[in-house]
Homo-oligomer: A and B are copies of this chain.
Amino acid sequence: MAKKYVYFYGGGKKMTDGDRTMREILGGKGANLAEMCNADVPVPPGFTVSTEACAVYEDKGSYPKEMMQQVKVELAKLEKLEGKKLGDAKNPLLLSVRSGAAQSMPGMMDTVLNLGMTDKSVKGFAEATGNPRAAYDCYRRFIDMFGDVVMGPYSTLNHHHFEEALTKIKKKYKAKQDTDLTAEQLAELVDDYKAIYKKHVGKPFPQDPMKQLELSINAVFDSWQTERAVKYRILNKITGLIGTAVNVQTMVFGNMGDDCATGVAFTRDGSTGEAKPMGEYLVNAQGEDVVAGIRTPINLDEIVNEEDQGLVKAGKQLLKIMAKLEKHYKYPQDVEFTIQQGKLYMLQTRNAKRVGLAGVRWAVEMATGVDQMTGEKLPKLLNAKEALMTVQGSDLEQLLFPIFDAKAEAKQTPICSGLPAGPGAAVGAIVLNSDKAEQMKKKNPNQKLILVRHETSPEDVGGMGAAEGILTSTGGMTSHAAVVARGWGKCCICGAGDLKINEKKGTISVGGKTYKEGETISLNGSTGKVYVGEIPSESSPIVAALVEGNKAAKKHWIYKMYEVVSEWSDKFRKINVRTNADSPADSKNARAFGAEGIGLCRTEHMFFEGDRITDVRRFILADTDKERNAAIKKLLPHQRKDFVGIFKAMDGLPVTVRLLDPPLHEFLPHTEADMKKMAKELSVPLSKVQERVAELHEFNPMLGHRGCRLSITYPVLCEMQTRAIIEAAVKVQEKGTKVLPEIMIPLIGTKAELDYLEKIVRRVADEIIKTKKSKVKYMVGTMIEIPRAALTADQVAETAEFFSFGTNDLTQMTFGYSRDDIGSFLPDYLEEKILETDPFQQIDESGVGQLVEMAVQKGRSTRPKLKCGICGEHGGEPNSVKFCVRTGLDYVSCSPYRVPIARLAAAQAALEG
């Protein structure tokens, strides 16, 4: 039997082939259309060409043989169900052709509407609907879309050419709006359009609807690999998809008169999280008009106040269906609908996108059944476990974002305002062009930018990614800019209609005043207000409560919600979460965020502070052991003091301290001027400084004289650091604090390295403990960050009491990628799908992960209770945390602000598996 590539939907459960579980092959849209049909929701019937067909097309460059045959069969079924025929001279069927991958990529791929319009069927349509104006309007729209989308890539044709002809004919007949054109005038326009088509494409506009359909399916498949689609997938870390499905669907018309409308709606507010339907619609319009943000749409609340009672009735039905869908999917939905002459059609439903706040709020409210702001009762849709699984790490992350200082903001007058499309606060320099924004960010990653555009399109995603916030002058809450920004948790204000943008001059003007590119503006994405200059921002209530000790903030509903999620996380997770912290302040903050100890305290940071660098440099320049020892001695009290503070902050919790790691040249100046300064400060000749700098130069510092290699050359370093740690521990413990120091030797590749330094550490530590008659207990362990250490972990564990995976270096060496140089080829690798993700962001499970698993297994074969953790950047990345849980690590360690995210991910991993 031939493989099935085409799936019918419509006509109720009986006729529908698919369901919601089939999103991998039907795409999200196709699977949900089928699901809605199964649930008797009114959906225009149609069929879905599967993603598997797209995969064949991608791979072989042509359709699978059976596909078009199957399309014909399903089309015949559709024609029968609808009682219309494609291209018919009397009652023609019109179709839409839309992309739909397994994961949503809004606006990234192509769509063709009104397919089936020909010189013959346009008349049939006019006749059947009694609306010749609508017929010719559809036809001319179809020629435009087909010409631009389907033939554009193969010719010089594009939308712009049709726009010109439209403007010309409007001028000719003195029509202000498109809607002022009559049927005859539109018929004339159709002739103009066909002529334009022929001129650019070299062939007449195709009058065979099957040809139209085949070419359109083709175009949707092609759009899978356009630059903007590929870029979107990279930016959104969408991987593992085989292609897009194509949804062919009976056209319904929101533009057939004032009893028609089209719109999009959410069952809950994706911005505030409020459990109340929100949406927008346009009367007498096609769906794309809403998404494109060309006309400013009407709030969904208004639909019950419409004059046309058909619209009112359909609107009420919509609200009921939305509630049903939310309950059915157990998650807030994002729907598209069209009302054609008072009849409601649902065109799409999907799990709604939302900002972090809404994501958390939805989860908490769906599980508790209580509105978190008002205390009102809501339907319970999920239990706590299910609810926790819907929260993403990035949701929590967004809750920690700063917001404007309310008082400072109150003193300012906004220069304009728009729709609060993406909450949070953003401050940055105005930039009017996306490419420019990308380039500026590349040159100076610290530069904060606000991208200001009329409206955004998929071509702008790069620039949007580079900006702190986005401001548009047109478009609504569901415009491209709004949807993309919310998906990223980025601050965004849309439809600030007063704003005039002059890209050529590089200025924006509003209220008679003009501002240049580069001037600073501030956006409040939660209110939609735009200010000139920088408004000081304010911490999130969570940060205020936990870090800043603001007691009032603890009563804030957002903070309380955070507490619910934290409680759930801690209840379900099975591993510990520690933090990477180098100072008493960081340690305290991390503890407030739930850290259960320090997994990585980098001592080198302590070497740079204040005067210490001078002694470090004295040490580096020393010619004799005596000089070296003298310099080191001066560092001891400073280091000890740091540890005292950290141990106090971590009372009762373990603290892993890593001995000095970076190569010595990092502590020396590199410019002539700085070297002169250093020579003067240290009273040595400049030549001596220069010589030492030259001597310490390395070709590949990442693979050079650093980590444990330093302490082996200069054991005094290891001695001093051990002394500082243990003396601090003894001192603090005497005063009643419980200390659990874990001394960590970095960059071990062989057991012998560890043995050599472990002996020194124990000699120094035991002597202090004995002399002071202290009861401090300490552990000695190592980082596993060199592949060889992982490979020989059974030997290393003979000495090491714990392993901490330094997955940054381990990734560098396992791949042979320098983190500092990867920029030259990583973009190519992601684009060509050679890498699915940046392995420095998300742990590479099959390579680096294999080494981690091997090391844990081998290490525990020698020392069954070996404590294992991770302290690389991956320790705060949700997918990597899940990997760590599966691998049996005892803890993950990450930066303080990522601790809540790691706790969540750890819980999710436990629930998953």
Contacts and interface: CB of A to CB of B under 8 A. Distances in A.
A812 B815 CA distance: 12
A848 interface: yes
A824 B705 contact: yes
Contacts of A825: 705, 709, 712-713
A847 interface: yes
9 contacts: A699-B701, A699-B702, A703-B821, A712-B829, A712-B832, A713-B824, A747-B816, A749-B847, A786-B815
B816 A786 contact: yes
A704 to B, nearest CB: 4
A703 B832 contact: no
Contact of A788 (B752, B753, B809, B815): B815
Interface string A799-840: 000000000010011111110110011001100111100000
Name the residue in A705, A709, A815, A816 with the highest tally of chain B Cβ atoms < 10 Å from its Cβ. A816
Contacts of A847: 749-750, 787-788, 791-792
Contact of A700 (B749, B820, B851): B820
Contact of A834 (B752, B832, B848): B752
Contact of A821 (B705, B791, B824, B851): B705
A703 B817 contact: yes
A756 interface: yes
A702 to B, nearest CB: 4
Contacts of A747: 816
Assembly stoichiometry (copies): 2
A698 interface: yes
Contacts of A702: 699-700, 703, 816, 818
Interface in A827-874: 828-829, 832-835, 844, 846-848, 850-851
A104 B816 CA distance: 42
Q: How large is the interface on A (under 10, 10 to 19, 20 to 34, 35 or more residues)?
A: 35 or more
Interface in A402-447: none
Given A703-B813, A749-B814, A795-B846, 13 more contacts: A699-B702, A700-B702, A700-B818, A702-B818, A704-B818, A704-B821, A713-B825, A749-B847, A750-B835, A756-B832, A786-B815, A787-B847, A813-B813
Contacts of A824: 698, 704-705, 709, 713
Interface string A687-702: 0000000000011111
Nearest to A788: B847
A844 B792 CA distance: 12
A442 to B, nearest CB: 13
A756 B834 contact: yes
A850 B700 contact: no
Contacts of A703: 700, 702-703, 812-813, 816-818, 821
Nearest to A712: B828
Given A752-B835, A756-B832, A816 B813 contact: yes
Contacts of A816: 702-703, 747, 749, 785-788, 809, 813
Interface string A667-688: 0000000000000000000000
Interface in A692-749: 698-705, 709, 712-713, 747, 749
A699 B813 contact: no
Contact of A814 (B698, B701, B788): B788
Nearest to A699: B820
Contacts of A812: 703
Contacts of A786: 814-816
Name the residue in A701, A752, A821 with the highest tally of chain B Cβ atoms < 10 Å from its Cβ. A821
A362 to B, nearest CB: 37
A753 to B, nearest CB: 5
A812 B818 CA distance: 13
Contacts of A832: 712, 752, 756
Nearest to A747: B816
Contacts of A704: 818, 821, 824
Contacts of A835: 750, 752
Contacts of A750: 834-835, 847
Nearest to A847: B788
A698 B713 CA distance: 27
Contacts of A705: 821, 824-825
B821 A700 contact: yes
Contacts of A828: 712-713
A850 to B, nearest CB: 5
Given A699-B821, A705-B824, A829-B712, A813 B787 contact: yes
Contacts of A848: 788
A819 to B, nearest CB: 8
Contacts of A701: 699-700, 821
A481 B155 CA distance: 84
A747 B817 CA distance: 11
A850 B792 CA distance: 9
A476 to B, nearest CB: 41
Contacts of A851: 787, 791
A713 to B, nearest CB: 5
Nearest to A753: B834
A566 to B, nearest CB: 37
Contacts of A818: 698-700, 702-704
Interface string A572-588: 00000000000000000
